[in-house]
Amino acid sequence: MKTRKKVMVLSGILMLVLVALFSCASQQVAPEKPQEMQVAQAEQPAAPPPPKEEKPKSLYDADVKPLAPAECGRCHYSVFSQIKNEGGKHKLDCTQCHTKYHAYNPVKQNWAEIMPKCETCHGVFHGQKFTACTQCHAPHAPKTQIAVNAETAKTCGDCHGKVAQTLQQSPSKHTKVACATCHHSKHGLIPSCMTCHKPHTANQTDKDCLACHPAHSPLTIAYPKDTANSVCGACHGAVYKKLEASTGKHKQVPCAQCHTKHRLIPKCQECHGQPHGEVVLKKFPDCLACHVDVHDLPSKSK
Q: Domain limits of the chain? A: 68-127, 223-289
pLDDT of residue 115: 92
Q: Beta partners for 146?
A: 137
Q: Beta partners for 138?
A: 141
pLDDT of residue 226: 84
As a whole number of angstroms, the distance between CA 167 and CA 177 comes to 10
pLDDT of residue 96: 92
204-213: long-range pairs with CB below 8 Å, 24+: 204/231
pLDDT of residue 20: 66
pLDDT of residue 7: 64
Q: Which residue, among 175, 259, 155, 188, has the nearest Cα to 218 in the 3D structure?
A: 175
pLDDT of residue 57: 76
Contact of 201 with 231, CB cutoff 8 Å: yes
CA angle 77, 78, 83 (to 5 degrees): 95
Contact of 232 with 191, CB cutoff 8 Å: no
Q: Is 185 helix (H, G, I), strand (E, B) or coil?
A: coil
Contact of 104 with 114, CB cutoff 8 Å: yes
Q: Beta partners for 141?
A: 138
Extract the residue ranges of the chain whose pLDDT is less than 50.
29-30, 302
Contact of 300 with 292, CB cutoff 8 Å: yes
The H-assigned helical ranges of 67-193 are 69-75, 77-86, 94-97, 111-114, 119-122, 156-159, 161-169, 179-182
